[in-house]
Structure 1
Amino acid sequence: MVLLPIKTKLRGPPSLAPAPPAEDDVIDEALDLFRANCLFRNFEIKGSADRVLIYLILFISDCLSCLSKAGKNTSQKEAVKILNSRALDQFALPGDPTFPLNALYTSPARQELANRLVERVYVDGKQSKWWMCFQKKKFMNKSL
């Protein structure tokens, strides 16, 4: 997987990535394009950055499913805890036998994406139906 610049306040490997030259980074791009891209059944991979985008879209779907299971009345603070826990949980990663797109990836970090997703999903402290309505959609008919 390519090492793309990201903005992060977290310590660890993501903070070792080069600083982004512009205000938006790959995580912002994945969040901005998620609702349109999750409807795709096919996705042409033109480079390593597309592999990162695919993985981030799959992880966003997984996070939305976790929030959906927690319920509509979950507070933003609870959502942060749930998704931070999910980002650190053990689940199928690139390289694991059960990972759906194993041939394309190595193991990445996910916590920064989970934090930024909560900021977008929660509007005025409540879940946005315009985000949550996509939690059942499967990007390329795959899920993590």
Structure 2
Amino acid sequence: MPAYQSSFDATSYQLLSNLSLLPLRTTYKGPAPKADSSTEDVIDEAFKYYRANVFFKQFEIKTPADRVLIYVTLFIQACLAATMKCNTANEAKKQLNSLALTNFSIPGDPSFPLNSLYSSPKNHSEAETLRQFFQQIRSEVVERFVPIVFKDDKPDKWWMCLAKRKFMNTSID
């Protein structure tokens, strides 16, 4: 059975390196276009498919939108790992806010784990836009993570049991 791909039509969106600059339902500033509040964005897709996709060691990339889905999935994985020892939603929120704001690598950096799947930014301006897009994604994932994974102020066991799984045998931290 193949992994779930992104449903976004990549030809409709601006390309950034070899990623699609997909719309997000977010209040955080960044280069991503605003998505309609009634539609599903790539972050919703990543949360919806996470528990199925996390078991895959390989992921066939069909569109540039799939690369965004991979990044969001890897960041959700990092969030789960960071909150493994948190017992309440407040503890998790504090832990995740610091995770979202820490320095992180982007494609082209030597420490980025999936450089073979992502192309390096062409110039400094594109690299900065990519960094802002990833920061916007990270902030929005943190915002949505706690209500999904910490229902009733306790960690959901069906999410937390996947905290040690590694999507594509890698992690972004």
Q: Which residue of 2 aligns with 1:52?
A: 68
2:95 paired residue among 46, 57, 82: 82
Further displaced range: 134-143 or 97-106: 97-106
Using the TM superposition, give the Cα deviation of residue 21 of structure 1 relative to its aligned residue in structure 2, in angstroms.
7.4
TM-score by length of 2: 0.74
The letter of the residue matching 2:105 is: A
User: How far apart, CA to CA, are the structure 1 residues paired with 2:143 and 2:37?
Assistant: 21
User: How far apart, CA to CA, are the structure 2 residues paired with 1:8 and 1:117?
Assistant: 13
Q: Which residue of 1 aligns with 2:22?
A: 4
Change (3 A) 1:72 1:13: closer
Using the TM superposition, give the Cα deviation of residue 78 of structure 1 relative to its aligned residue in structure 2, in angstroms.
2.0
The superposition leaves residues 72-123 of structure 1 with CA deviations (integer Å, 9 ceiling, x where unpaired) of 42x2122112111101101333232011112415432211011111111011
Using the TM superposition, give the Cα deviation of residue 17 of structure 1 relative to its aligned residue in structure 2, in angstroms.
1.3
Q: Which residue of 2 aligns with 1:138?
A: 166
User: How far apart, CA to CA, are the structure 2 residues paired with 1:117 and 1:45?
Assistant: 25
Alignment coverage as a number of residue pairs: 139
4+ residue segments displaced more than 6 Å: none
Structure 2's unaligned 5+ residue stretches are 1-18, 120-129
The letter of the residue matching 2:104 is: F
Using the TM superposition, give the Cα deviation of residue 18 of structure 1 relative to its aligned residue in structure 2, in angstroms.
3.3
Matched, 1:63 2:79: yes
Identity of matched residues, %: 49
User: How far apart, CA to CA, are the structure 1 residues paired with 2:148 and 2:108?
Assistant: 30
1:69-108 matches, within 5 Å, as 71-73=85-87, 75-103=88-116, 104=118, 106-107=130-131, 108=134
User: How far apart, CA to CA, are the structure 2 residues paired with 1:80 and 1:21?
Assistant: 23
Give the root-mean-square deviation of aligned CA atoms.
Answer: 1.7
User: How far apart, CA to CA, are the structure 2 residues paired with 1:61 and 1:39?
Assistant: 12
> Is the Cα–Cα contact under 8 Å of residues 57 and 167 in structure 2 kept in the other structure?
yes
User: How far apart, CA to CA, are the structure 2 residues paired with 1:119 and 1:96?
Assistant: 32
Using the TM superposition, give the Cα deviation of residue 32 of structure 1 relative to its aligned residue in structure 2, in angstroms.
0.6
> Is the Cα–Cα contact under 8 Å of residues 105 and 111 in structure 2 kept in the other structure?
yes
1:113 paired residue among 138, 141, 146: 141
Using the TM superposition, give the Cα deviation of residue 19 of structure 1 relative to its aligned residue in structure 2, in angstroms.
2.0
> Is the Cα–Cα contact under 8 Å of residues 86 and 92 in structure 2 kept in the other structure?
no
Using the TM superposition, give the Cα deviation of residue 24 of structure 1 relative to its aligned residue in structure 2, in angstroms.
1.2
